[in-house]
Amino acid sequence: MLYLFYGTKQFLIKKEVEKIQKSFSSINISIYDLDNDLTRDAIEDCQTISLFEEKKLVICNNATMFTGNSNKDLEIIEEYLKNPNPNTILIFTINSEKIDERKKITKIIKKEGQITALNDNTNTIDFVKKEFSGYNISLNNIHLLIDRVGENLLILENEINKIKIYKNQDHNIIDQDIINLTTKTIDIDIFKLIDFIIKQNKNKALGIYHEMMKINEEPIKIIIMLANQFRIMYQSKQLLKKGLSEKDIANTLKIHPYRVKLAIQNSRNYDSKTLLNYLSELADIDIDIKTGKVNKDLALELFILKS
């Protein structure tokens, strides 16, 4: 059997693969990352007969040959798919919104196997409710959990499992359980911090910065993350002006399309000069901290106050 799972919902792709994995022992599962592993090695594995059980499972992640990208080993895969090992279940996964349905390899999978798109917008609140089935949690506390850890379903699942293990005897989830047991995601605060800095809302920006300091986040790390966000916003803005699509920008910058989408949305309210100024100031702060000219705990706070 052949499977192709693609889409922007990495969590949902993972779940679909796990459903199939449950039918196999770990010794009969091989996983390849086609960004790093040789495609021919994965195909040779598919052709090999299992020594332990009748069936085996081969998973090939980052199968970019199903998108517009070229792949020098494409013919190897196509040749195998003409006469696949009946005892091998082969799964391809690709974190991409679309696949190229014109390609021969895609048509083969569509004819001989199963292609599943996982791009739907899963309602995060409904997801949390389902994961907490059998537990009591208020809507306010669901929002608190999402505000703390974000809407990445993989991260949410991990944090929910931590809470459920701790609350195994008492199934009533209160706000202090969420605050005490979950790890606040710094990326969420970074986006808020960027917004507040550029909107010159110093009080809220400082509030977020002080919260980051309470959980011992390194100022240098925050500076680097801030600069990275400004850089992506600036680059996306410039490339968009040149007529590139979001997909083309993502390929050019070698980042996920969703990050480009957010960057373009965020950059619409900011002119290019402002973004460049912030990048320059953050670079100067980074140098001053590393050369001992300024106190690292105060440098970013001064940047916020001046912005």
| Residue 109 DSSP symbol | H
pLDDT at 266 over 90: no
User: The domain 124-181: what is its CATH number?
Assistant: 1.10.8
pLDDT at 142 over 90: yes
pLDDT at 49: 80
Domain with CATH 1.20.272.10 in the chain: 186-306
Mean pLDDT of 261-287: 88
User: The domain 186-306: what is its CATH number?
Assistant: 1.20.272.10
Whole-number Å distance between alpha carbons of 228 and 255: 12
pLDDT tens digit sequence for 182-235:
987 766 677 778 778 877 788 888 888 887 787 777 888 888 888 988 899 999
Domain with CATH 1.10.8 in the chain: 124-181
Whole-number Å distance between alpha carbons of 167 and 176: 12
pLDDT at 170: 92
CA distances from 197 to 46, 219, 270, 300, 307 (A): 53, 15, 12, 11, 6
Amino acid identity of 197?
I
Domain with CATH 3.40.50.300 in the chain: 2-117
User: The domain 2-117: what is its CATH number?
Assistant: 3.40.50.300
* CB atoms near residue 235 (< 10 Å): 18
162 vs 97, more confident: 162
pLDDT at 65: 87
pLDDT tens digit sequence for 6-65:
988 788 888 899 989 988 988 889 999 988 888 889 999 999 887 767 789 999 999 988
Alpha helices in 48-185 (DSSP H): 74-82, 104-112, 124-131, 139-149, 153-166, 175-181
Whole-number Å distance between alpha carbons of 184 and 190: 12
Q: How confident is the model at residue 284 (pLDDT cuts 50, 70, 90)?
A: very high
pLDDT at 194: 79
Amino acid identity of 281?
E
Beta bridge partners of 88: 56
Mean pLDDT of 107-124: 83
Q: What's the chain's average pLDDT?
A: 87
| Element holding 236 (H helix, E strand) | helix 219-241
pLDDT at 201: 85
